[in-house]
A = this chain, B = another copy of it.
Amino acid sequence: MTKPHGSTSSQIKALAFDAYGTLFDVSSVSSCCEGHFPGKGAAISDAWRQKQLEYTWLCSLMERYVDFWELTSRSLRFACRAQGVEPGEEALVDMMESYLRLEPFQEVGAALESLSRSIPLVILSNGTPEMLLKVTRHNGFSGFFKEILSVHALSVYKPSPRVYQMAEESLGLPRRQIGFVSANGWDAAGGRAFGLHTFWINRFDRPRETLGYEPHLEISTLDDLEPLIR
């Protein structure tokens, strides 16, 4: 754990986890992209993720919700276009399916197993219910979570306060007693603005967002959580 910041975490009664980028490494699709477009895997994967996030924000603001699977597909097509390649249908399907088999970050499985023994855990994610079911099953994580909460039921993406409210409603706890764990700085800011007790996982020593909503605590990996919530 690095750089503690803010209040203590002793009142936390449940943990809500972001999925993509927090539990699952979105860059693990890059080897699949690399297989289809040698020398461009990392660039496609990076552009894909950036555009995927942009499209969630834009669709929400336009009040034209499109589900995360479709946006993931559209952003992949943009990323390929931006890299000057035009994938065929088979390559597109293959790259999209790699999104259902994302690898977790190294410590995640053991940390979730351990945490789930002492406190209820849920996922709170932009993914569709089906995508989330598949990627958690693929990684053997299904049993760790009390519930998998998808924005799909609301037709709006993070960081809308309506999304964070879902955790409150589902867990039946006041927001300050819910620990929200995200490696996406903007998502941590959204959770904090709503009033969740927010942990920002900064695995790659990224600069802190300047949105105006600081996480309660900045940690390095999920391993830092266990001593905090006892």
Contacts and interface: CB of A to CB of B under 8 A. Distances in A.
Contact of A62 (B74, B81, B160): B160
A113 interface: no
Nearest to A206: B82
A154 to B, nearest CB: 12
Interface stretch (A1-9, A24-32, A186-194, A222-230): A186-194
Q: Categorize the interface residue count of chain A.
A: 20 to 34
A78 B189 contact: no
Interface in A23-75: 54-55, 57-64, 66, 74-75
Interface in A188-230: 189-190, 193, 207-213
A58 B211 contact: yes
A61 B157 contact: yes
B211 A74 contact: yes
Interface in A67-120: 74-75, 77-78, 81-82
A161 interface: yes
Contact of A54 (B77, B81, B186, B190): B186
Contacts of A57: 54, 57-58, 61
A127 interface: no
B62 A159 contact: yes
Contacts of A160: 61-63
A44 to B, nearest CB: 13
A58 B190 contact: yes
B62 A208 contact: no
Contacts of A81: 207-208, 210
Interface of A: 54-55, 57-64, 66, 74-75, 77-78, 81-82, 156-161, 186, 189-190, 193, 207-213
Given A57-B61, A64-B193, A81-B210, 14 more contacts: A54-B54, A57-B57, A58-B159, A61-B158, A61-B159, A62-B159, A63-B160, A64-B212, A66-B212, A74-B210, A74-B212, A77-B210, A78-B207, A78-B209
